[in-house]
Amino acid sequence: MAILSVDNLSIGYQTKKGMLKAVNDISFSIEQGRSLGFVGESGCGKTTIGMTLMGLLPDNASILSGNINFMEKDLCDFSEDQWRNIRGKDVAMIFQAAMNALNPVFRVGEQIAEAIVTHNPAFSKNEVNDRLKKLYNMVEIPEHRISDFPHEYSGGMKQRAIIAMALACSPKLIIADEPTTALDVIVQDQILKEIKKIQQALNMSLIFISHDIAVVAEVCEDICVMYAGQIIEKGSKREVFTSPKHPYTKTLLSSYLSLDSDENILIPDMMETPDLIDANPGCQFSCNCNCRSTECSKNAPGWIDISKTHKAFCCEQGLSRTNNG
């Protein structure tokens, strides 16, 4: 059974120019112990989804429609008190660029201990210290570094400490938003392996957000590809990563893989950014799609089932023109 199930969710930001639809009618679910990746270009709505699941949307944002069911509770109706009860405890987030958020004047261990105490106020000092040591072992930072200040940590260690902080209360669901983007590839790879190992060992559900499809494929079992606030392809890692169907997914992947259907997937020199305030009624990717027909900017696409688990939000023509590999 799904621990989280999101149905037809739309989220908007009120801006001076009007309502910006950052997330547009998305549906997905995740089961206990599974990992789901969200991938897509900058501004496609990935962080907005994470912030919504943490109850941390800014004041100018609102849920326009849809349902979010987490552990059999409807999060759309939650009061701030209810959010405080589950945030950090049942659902935790590793925030984008979080490693710069460690407070420079406090020791790293103290900052993680504070997260432990917040959700376990009855813990004795010894229990907090034991938990702290366990967390340091889990993220593979030597225990003797507990009392160091943030400036004494490398970037990779800071990121591990942030992961430890998110794990402080063994959440059921963890949302990792670009957790390794600022790191060099070797440290990135170590931390991705770490996240995967911990997620499996603790049987947590993981939502992993990145603009890099190869990174998402390394960590996640299932993948949702996003474009302009919409999910445009979803399926298992194998289906989406090795057998992509949507022209945008193919464009994303073409920098990593040599595809058989290359002749149809020319990456445009300049990608146009779709307008999220005054969206066209048709396919949001149509302005950049080399497989488009004249109908694509007029008629919204529909979901096409490729397998029981693999779906693409496209038109038959778009799929068949990219499907000759």
Ligand X SMILES: Nc1ncnc2c1ncn2[C@@H]1O[C@H](COP(=O)(O)OP(=O)(O)OP(=O)(O)O)[C@@H](O)[C@H]1O
DSSP 143: G
User: Could you tell me the CA-to-CA distances from 28 to 31, 49, 134, 247 in Å, in that order?
Assistant: 10, 11, 33, 21
Residue type, 190: Q
**Segment contacting ligand X (CB under 6 A): 13-21, 113-121, 241-249, 294-302?**
13-21
Told to check if 46 binds ligand X by CB under 6 A, we report yes
Compute the least distance from the CB of residue 273 to ligand X, in Å.
Answer: 9
Q: 184-213 mask for ligand X (x: CB under 6 A)?
A: ---------------------------x--
Out of 20, 94, 206, 296, point to the residue binding ligand X (CB under 6 A): 20
Compute the least distance from the CB of residue 51 to ligand X, in Å.
Answer: 8
- Give the sheet arrangement for strand 61-70, strand by strand: 18-31, 2-15, 61-70, 73-74
By CB under 6 A, how many residues form the interface with ligand X? 16
Residue 70 binds: one of Mg ion, ligand X, none (C-beta under 5 to 8 A by kind): none
DSSP 291: T
Contact positions vs Mg ion (CB under 5 A): 47, 96
DSSP-based three-state secondary structure for 58? coil
Told to check if 58 binds ligand X by CB under 6 A, we report yes
- Which CB, 40 or 247, lies closer to Mg ion? 40
Told to check if 59 binds ligand X by CB under 6 A, we report no
Give the CA count within 13 Å in the CB-facing half-sphere of 116: 23
Distance CA 76, CA 10 (A): 12
**Segment contacting ligand X (CB under 6 A): 1-9, 46-54, 105-113, 214-222?**
46-54
β-bridge pairing 302-305 and 205-210? unpaired
- Which CB, 60 or 307, lies closer to ligand X? 60
Helix (H) or strand (E) holding 73: strand 73-74
Angle at which helix 155-167 crosses helix 125-138, to 10 degrees, equals 130
Compute the least distance from the CB of residue 202 to Mg ion, in Å.
Answer: 25
DSSP-based three-state secondary structure for 286? helix
Enumerate the β-bridge partners of residue 36.
207, 222
Told to check if 42 binds ligand X by CB under 6 A, we report yes
Told to check if 55 binds ligand X by CB under 6 A, we report no
Told to check if 121 binds ligand X by CB under 6 A, we report no
Q: What does the block give as tokens for 90?
A: 């049942």
Residues that bind ligand X (CB under 6 A): 13, 15, 20, 22, 42-48, 58, 60, 96, 211, 276
